[in-house]
Structures are given as structure tokens and as C-alpha cells.
Amino acid sequence: MAEKNFIDVSKKIDSCRDEIIQVQKELTARPALSPVNEGKGEWEKARWVISYLKKIGVDSIEECNAPDKKVPEGTRPNIIAKMKGKSSSRTIWVMSHLDIVPPGELSLWKSDPYKVVVDGDKLFGRGVEDNQQGMVASLMAVKAFKELGIIPEYDIGLAIVSDEETGSEFGIDYVVKNSSFFRKDDLIIVPDAGDEVGSMIEVAEKSILWTKYRTVGKQCHGSTPKKGTNAHKAAASLILMMDSLYKKFPYKDKVFDPSDSTFEPTKKENNVPNINTIPGEDVFYTDFRILPKYRVDRVIVEVTKMIKKVEKKYKVKISREYPQRNDAAPPTPVDAPVVVALKKAIKDVYKVNGKAMGIGGGTVAALFRKAGYQAAVWSRLDETAHSYNEYCYISNIMGDARVFAHIFMQK
């Protein structure tokens, strides 16, 4: 019966091409921009989503709206829709987000970013992939269950939230901290990253540590270096010394690509405008991506030792600031139920082997993991998010919907 039900659901999803296009058009025409991005928030889009959820007949809709004085309504919408299953002992969640990023330079777009253009299997428009593909796929899966009268094995939850693009303070972070919707045995899927074949299941993230270093010495003429203190030379020495961090923190984790922690100098600010001046001040930045095995504070201690050595040798002072520090959340185990369920569904739907992987960037799944919930990030997409001429494939929306439906049917 389960196999027949899945075939029926798959056929129903595949018949929804026109519906998928129309939903994408409605969502894209309602730009949901954070006030950080000079927008009015997500409410116009959220109201349409709520009306659509009512139309497809979900069993309940709740809101967990975050106060925000910077938007006209005074709150940022977070929608929790549920469909009752045979058992309420756990909920299978799909979390997507309402907000988008601005379109950027309009001259680079081939069409109006807020009007969906259909080109064969592709839909073009701002937000169609990030994150409307995941949202629409989850809606189509639930719609198919409802129209066929099929009851899922467990409760289905759709968390459709705000503020993912600018920090999640008013989005899923607020929901996790101010509600009891989620439970430890729930399966949580975040369809907000992936690869073009649908094999990557993101289960872990590295810590991110961005650091700004300001080295202060004494400026002087290039022909009389002993009259000054070369801040640039001292900074360069510190940069070279930092390369030893690779040996101090050598552990490799095959779940990640690259498998090791990385410690790289990146941005360099201008110091002096002319060649024949010894700079008295120098500023550079580093980007560290640290495996969860190592504590960020332990890395900072090692860098502090290096700074003291450079200060003593070159007679300079070095100060630090941290533009970004995100300590890695505990990883979702590679054999967690959500990972196992995704692997089964991906294999059946896309005929590829799912692989649990870690990434160097950050996703909202980390907020779930830090709260003790096992979450996995997955979708099949080309990663055109945030670029001009953003697009998604209609066939990927259908395929992802079938993956969700497959998981909804698993015991």
C-alpha cells in the first residue's frame, strides 16, 4: 500500500507543473526584504502563503511572530503549519524562509527580477531558488497528500520563517527560543543548500573566525628604516607565523571538504600611498574555518602567543577585532534518522547515493543543532542564489517534493 501511495503521490506532484509556476509567480511578485536591506519585511508574502496553506487544507496554522520596530507591522512573520499523521510521536519538519536578498545590479538581469520568466524547465526570478524552491516543494508534497486523502506516518510540519538572509534573529532563532514546536525526536530538513545531483546532505559546519589585525609601529623615510618601526614587516611576519596553525591543529575529518581546518590571510588595507615611506600602521584580516573538534578559544590562544612574539621582536603593538565569530554547533550524526531517511528517499527518487557532508560556511541548521535538534540541509539545485538571473528547475521542485513525500511515508 505504501508503494502504491508513493506512486500516486508522485503522479499527483508531476501533474502540478502549472500550479508550481503560478505559486512561484505569486511569491516572486511579493518581495520580502529585510529592513537591513531597505525592505519592509515579509508580511505581504507571508499573508499570501497563509492563504495558500488554508487553500490546500493543512490541519493547523500558528504564528510565532518576532517583534521588530523597524518594519511597518511591528513584527516579522513566522508560520508553523501542520498536517496530522498516523502518529504524533514525532514531526517531520521542512523549514524554508520567506525573505530574499536584493536583486543587485538590475542591468545584469535579462528580465524583471520580480516577474517570473518561464524558459522550458527553468524559472527565472529573485528568490525562485533561494528559498522558494524548497518552500514550493514542501507545499506540493502536502497538497498531494491532502488531495489524495493519504495520511502520513507522522505529523508533517512546515516552518516558513523570516530573516534567514540577515541573521535569523527574527526568524528561526526566535521560534526555537520562544516556542515548543520542536522536539528531540523530530526530523528537521532545511532545503536551502545542495548540489546539482542532489547527493549532498549537509550535517556539520566549521566554526568561522574572521579577525582584523592592526599593527602599530613608527612611520619614517624608506631610506632610514632604523628611525622607525616597520608595521608592515611585523604584520607580514605574523602572517607567515600563522601558517604553523595547520600543524598545530592537524586533525582531518572526511565529512568535510576540505577535510582540515583552514587558516588563511585575506583582505589587506592600504597603509602608505608612496613607495619610499616605512608604514607606521598596517591592517590585515584572516579567515579561519575550524573543525568542530577544536574550540575557537584554543586557536585564539595560539595566535595570541604569536602576536606576543612579533610584538617583542619588532617593537610594535598589535590589536585585534572579530568582525565575525560563529562557533560550530555539534554536528548531526551521519547515521541520524533524518540522514538515513533522506538517503533512502534520494536513492529512490533521484537514483543517486546521498552523502553526509560538512561545509565551511554557515546555515540556519546550526541554530537547530545548538538547541539540541538533529537537522540536515538538503536540496537539489544549481546554487544560483544571490546571483543575477537566479533560476531554478521545475523538475527539481517536483523531485524535491517527491523526496519529502517519500520521507513523510517512511515508518
For 122-174, the pLDDT digits (tens) are: 999 999 999 999 999 999 999 999 999 999 999 999 999 999 999 899 999 99
My answer on whether 195 and 101 are in the same domain is: yes
Which pLDDT tens digit goes with each residue over 256-283? 989 999 999 999 999 999 999 999 999 9
Give yes or no: residues 47 and 168 share one domain: yes
Work out the average pLDDT over 73-84: 98
Radius of gyration for the chain, computed over Cα atoms and rounded to the nearest angstrom: 25
User: How many residues appear in the chain?
Assistant: 411
- Do residues 349 and 391 share a domain? yes
**256 within some domain:** no
The reply to whether 258 falls in a domain is: no
Whether residues 61 and 150 share a domain: the answer is yes
Q: Which three cell numbers stand for residue 280?
A: 607606521
Instruction: Give residue 275's pLDDT.
Output: 97
- CB distance 267 to 284 below 8 Å: yes
Is 158 domain-assigned? yes
Of 99, 96, 119, 107, the closest CA to residue 21 belongs to 119
Contact predicate 319/281, CB 8 Å: no
State mean pLDDT over 54-73.
98
Question: What is the per-residue pLDDT for 363?
Answer: 87
Question: pLDDT per residue over 332-390, tens digit each?
Answer: 999 999 999 999 999 999 999 999 999 987 889 999 999 999 999 999 999 898 999 99
Residues 6+ apart with CB under 8 A from 110: 117, 124, 389
List, by residue number, the catalytic residues. Answer: 99, 164
Is the pLDDT reported for residue 112 higher than 60? Answer: yes
Residues 282 and 243 in one domain: yes
Does residue 305 share a domain with residue 244? yes
What is this structure's pTM?
A: 0.88
194-238 residue pLDDT tens: 999 999 999 999 999 999 999 999 999 999 999 999 999 999 999
SS3 content of the chain, % helix, strand, coil (to 5): 35, 25, 40
CA atoms of 302 and 231, how far apart (whole Å):
21
Residue 60 has pLDDT above 70, yes or no: yes
Mean pLDDT (the chain, rounded): 97
Among 35, 164, 50, CA closest to 98: 164
**Residue 1 reports pLDDT greater than 70:** no
353-to-2, 132, 197, 265, 397 alpha-carbon distances in Å? 22, 25, 10, 36, 19
Domain of 386? 2-204+329-409
Residues 218, 125 share a domain: no
Residue 3 banded pLDDT, cuts 50, 70, 90: confident
Domain co-membership, 303 together with 404? no
CA 192 from chain centre, in angstroms, equals 6
Say if residue 23 is in the same domain as residue 160. yes
Q: Are residues 236 and 356 in the same domain?
A: no
Helices H / strands E in the chain, number of each: 11, 19
Q: How many domains does the chain have?
A: 2
Same domain, 141 and 217: no
Q: In what order do the strands lie in the sheet with 207-216?
A: 262-268, 281-290, 207-216, 317-326
Mean pLDDT of 106-128: 98
Considering 303, 323, 343, which residue would you say is the last residue of a domain?
323
**Do 108 and 176 fall within a single domain?**
yes
Residue 69 belongs to domain with CATH number:
3.40.630.10
Residue 359 inside a domain? The answer is yes
Which CATH number does the domain housing residue 297 bear?
A: 3.30.70.360
